[in-house]
Each structure stands twice: as C-alpha cells, then as structure tokens.
Amino acid sequence: MAKIREEDIDDLRERADLVEVVSAYTPLKRSGGNTSKGLCPFHSEKTPSFTVDAAKGLWHCFGCGEGGNVYHFIQKVESLTFPEAVEWLARRFGVDLRYEESRPGEQRTAGIKARLLEANGEAARFWHDLLMSSPQAEPARAYLEARGFGSEVAERWQLGWAPGGNETCRHLLGRRFSVEEIVRADLGRKSERDGNLYDSFRGRIVFPTRTVQGDVAGFGGRALGDVQPKYLNTAETPVFAKSRLLFGLDRAKSAIARGVAVVVEGYTDVIALHEAGVINAVATNGVALGGSHLELLKKFTDRAVLMFDADEAGRAAADRGWGLDRSIGLEVLVAPLPAGRDPAEVVTEDGAESIAKFIEAAQPLVEFKLEQTVAKLPLDTPEARARAVREAVKVLGSQRDVIARHEYAFKVARRIGVDPEAVQRALGDEEAGGLGPDEEAGGRARDRRLPGNVKVEREALQLLLTKPRESAPWAGDVSERNFSSPVRRELFRHATGARADGAAPASAAVAERLSSEALGLYTELTVGDGGASADAQERMSQVFTRLKVFLLETEIKSRRNTLQEVNPVTDASRHDALFTELVGLEAERRDLLRGLQGGG
C-alpha cells in the first residue's frame, strides 16, 4: 500500500469532527467551553472521565490515562493501524485520499496485508461457488442441510467447500497471486519432500472469519467423515491473529454494543444463533478464550456471557475468564447449557426463546466460580466445612464491591451450611492478611501522592504547552535539566520547538509526533482549560521559580556528595572551588525561597 500524502492526513484530521466520531461509541455531554465528557469506551467506569477538547482536536481519559487525536481514537477503538485508521475516517467523511509512489521494495512491504486479504477474499469466493454448484460438494451441502443451514444460510455466511487436490492453489495462481502470497496467507503450503505447492484446506467445509471491518482474514475448516484433524484453522498470518479475532464479530458488533456479547465455542453455534435472531453471538477461532478476546469485546460492551455445554462450562469460566474480567473491566457471566447439548442444538430444537432464558439466567463469574469451588469439596464434617469456607473466601476476595461480596458471602454460607458470620470473619481474616499483588499495586498507584518536584514539573509543562505566549518571559530560563523523567523532557523539547517555529504546542497534529509514552501525559496536560488563566502572572512566576528551586536543590545535593569525597588537605584548591560553588547555590536557593514567601 502506497503512503498516504501528508497534506491529506492533515486535512482529514481537521475535517473529521472528533466529537461526532467519539459520540458513535460513547455519549458525550458538554462540560463547558470547548470540552465534552462521557464514559470512557476503553475501561469500565461509573463517573465520566473521558474528555474531548473540540478546539484542540484532542481527547483524554483522566481515569485510565489514554489520550490522543481522532486517529489515535479510531486506531484504539477499531483495532486498526495508523494508515487503516486514516482510510477508515476518509470513508466515514467522504474524503478522497491521494497516495505517494513508494520507493522500490516499500510498496511490497506495506501492501502485503492488503494482498493477503485479497487472496483470502478470492479463496472465499472460489470455495463458496464450489459449495453452491459443484457436484463434488454434494456431501458438504447434505451435511449443512442436516444442520439446518440451507443455501440461503450458506449464501449469507459465504460458507464454502475446499476441494481435494491442489485446485485452490492453481486457482489463486491463475488470479495472479504469487506463491509467496499464497503461502503467507496459509492458503497453500510447500511440501518438505519436493518443495511443491499444495492446498492447506482439502476436502473441508470452510467458514470465513472476518475482521471487524468485514475483510476475510482466515478460515476454519471442518472435515467430513473420520478425517483427522476434524477441525483445521488458518495458521497465524500477518492478517490472522487468532487471539485478536472473533468469528461473527463483524455481524454482531452493533447488537453487542446495544447490550451483551454471547460467546460460544463453534462456528455453527454462531451461525445457528444468528439465524434464530440471537445476533450478538461470537466465537473464538480454534483457541481458548483469552484476555485479547475480552479486550476486543470490551470495546463494544461492558458485559459478556460465556455459553458452553455443561461439561465445558467450568473449565471455560475458571480457566479462561477468571481473573481476566477484573483486569479488563468486563463483567463476565456464565450460562451453562444442559449436558451434551451445544447452543446450535438448543436453538434448533427448542427455539431462540430457550437461549434467551439461559442468557437471562446467566450467573456472574464469581458466583459460578464459588459454586464450582464448593461443589468439588466434601461438606460432611466441621473440618470439611471449614476448609470449604477457606477455599470460598479465596474466591470472594477477588470481588472488590463490598455490597456484592457481602451477598455472595451469605450465599456461600447457606450453600456450605455454616453461619454467615463465620464466612464474614474468615473473609475479614483473609483481607487482613494483605491485598494481592495486583490490588496492592493498584491501591498504591491510586493513593500515592506525586512528589513535589513532579507536580511542579507537570504544571510548568502545562503552562508551556497551553499558554505559550503568557509563559514566554520564563521559558528562556528553563532547560531539559529542569525535568526529571524522559517523558517530561520529551514534552519540554516539543514545547520549545513549537515556540521557536511559532506553532501551537497543543494541537491534534502534534500528538502524532510524540512517543506512545508521552502521548497520555500530553493529552492529560492539554485537554480542557489548560492550566492557569491568562492573567495569573503571579502563579506562573511561582511555578517557574519553584522549578528552578528544585533544580538548585538537586545541584546542591550533588555538590555536597562530591565535596565529601574530596580531601581538603591533599586537594585544597578543588575543595575550595566546590565549597564556593555550594555556598553560591545555597545563597541563590535562599533568595528564591525568600521571594516566594514574600510573594505570598
């Protein structure tokens, strides 16, 4: 893919209404001036901390620390690369982009993903046509018909039939796809014996998995008869990452955004549920449900229901979702189905209403985990019940909500057959033992007060970035040495460069030139009012004076340490010079502090 022209990127950034774009994912309300607020689409919160500054074209969440411009937002919310985000916004706002010619080799590197998606799309069309009309696909059609998937369903989901032999590779070569492209898309593989190209999928019904944008990224193939393996999936490719894709999400995302995600295990489960009207169902692609899947769902909803058969439900809940829901901020519930029945069978035999009842009766993951924990333990002696209480309390400790924890403790007590007070006391003992590593770290991060020098450095940066004209009288006395972290030094360099160029240091265009580490702090300091008001000259004087004081204190400490290492007898001249410097620095610091005190 050729490079998009910079002027088009700049023009689109200005034309794309950030408030309009963000409002499609989370409702915003005006909060004064040019700012609007809403709930963050990237983490779970009850009080709006996601702020959009329409004038600057920037957004920042003061809860999770994420921030950027409209391109950063689309990259994150839609899981796109920067060029993909630019093209996404261009389609959204009807802007025609122009592309520059790439240097030799660049276009091939940049465009490989596009070519792999094209190859997948061509394979999907080829296999679908065979399924719909080829005599050799009759067993596949019969199987799908038996599952309730007639020709109309196959058409809607572009199901296909991968034939035997090497017909797919020959077809793709005939469509001018190279051997390298076919192999990189895992549509074909090279024989280790003779190096010849052969089809990756042979004699299988194929289910295309699409990106959220609708492009075919890979396939799942089901064999007929006793052929092994029964299920085969596309290997990891530049466009098919199993941990970051969900089958059916391209169709389900709108329904999920309006309610809840239903996560099932198989392709046919997803199709059966959608065809029955349960259009918020998705499935993984032959891998266990993981954190990346839940993070993907979190972009669209705050709640997910895991729906597996009874034999699988325990493992799915405990081993896959347990712990991930807390770190990601997604509420996970479990809806076990009757033993031996999968979602496709239930919806086919009992109707969509039965699936709806299972979803409505879904248990919170903590409750389900508690039941699984207690169910495997004996409860016939006081010692056994005491052990069960201790095991249950370990699960209860993960529930941060005090009210919910109290309710679960009461249920556990009733289930085990002990006094609720016993569970509460055990829970109190567990909590007294200290928080877990994650909770402890999070608590420290929330409660820790910033050191004084860091506060002043941040405020000075905020003034330099948002009030460049007003802070100019003091800016000349500030250098990188005044800032104690690489991120704050990077922002200072940017503010200095912008002032030299006569450009606005707080803008959407600037955000794209910052490192990912600096971006969050940049938007935190620039989104909103931008610090002190224009007439608060005295406050500016105090901030920049304190900034100088902190640097002097660092230098004084350094001189003292050095002075202790110098022998005044054997190296008298150096000792005297350092002592003189130290006296001068301390005098300067004393004068600055006296001025601050005199200034109020």
Does domain 3-100 bear CATH number 3.20.20.10?
no
Residues above pLDDT 90, as percent of the chain? 37
Pairing between β-strand 216-223 and β-strand 204-210 as defined by DSSP bridges: antiparallel
Residue that the structure tokens 């034999």 belong to? 311
pLDDT surpassing 50 at residue 459: yes
Q: What residues form DSSP beta bridges with 222? A: 205, 231
Q: At 560, which amino acid appears?
A: R
pLDDT for 42 equals: 83
Question: Which residue, among 25, 578, 492, has the nearest Cα to 299 in the 3D structure?
Answer: 25
pLDDT surpassing 80 at residue 366: yes
Kindly report which listed range (189-198, 308-317, 523-532) carries the lowest average pLDDT score: 308-317
Q: Is pLDDT larger for residue 263 or for residue 295? A: 263
Phi, psi of 373 (to 5 degrees): -65, -45
Most confident of 212-221, 327-336, 537-546, 581-590: 212-221
For residue 35, the surrounding DSSP H or E stretch is strand 35-38
* Local confidence band at 245 (pLDDT 50, 70, 90 cut-offs): very high
DSSP result, 562-583:
HHHHS-TTTTHHHHHHHHHHHH
Q: Is pLDDT larger for residue 368 or for residue 204? A: 204
Q: Mean pLDDT, to the nearest integer, of 267-281?
A: 95
pLDDT surpassing 60 at residue 110: no
The burial class, CB within 10 Å (0-12 / 13-18 / 19+), for 448 is exposed
Residues above pLDDT 70, as percent of the chain? 88
pLDDT for 324 equals: 58
pLDDT for 445 equals: 37
* Local confidence band at 190 (pLDDT 50, 70, 90 cut-offs): very high
Domain ranges of the chain: 3-100, 109-240, 244-363, 377-440, 452-598
Q: Mean pLDDT, to the nearest integer, of 217-233?
A: 91
Structure tokens at 127: 């296999």
pTM over 0.75: no
pLDDT surpassing 80 at residue 59: yes
Pairing between β-strand 197-199 and β-strand 188-190 as defined by DSSP bridges: antiparallel
CATH architecture type of domain 244-363: 3-Layer(aba) Sandwich (3.40)
pLDDT surpassing 90 at residue 176: yes
CATH architecture type of domain 109-240: Alpha-Beta Complex (3.90)
Are the folds of 109-240 and 244-363 the same? no
Query: Distance between CA 232 and CA 240 in Å, rounded?
Result: 14
Across the chain, mean pLDDT equals 84
Torsion of CA 138, 142, 144, 148, to 10 degrees: 150
Q: Model confidence over 403-438: pLDDT tens digits?
A: 778 888 889 899 999 988 888 888 776 554 433 333
Identify the three-state secondary structure at position 595.
helix
Topology given in CATH for the domain delimited by 452-598 = DNAb Helicase; Chain A (1.10.860)
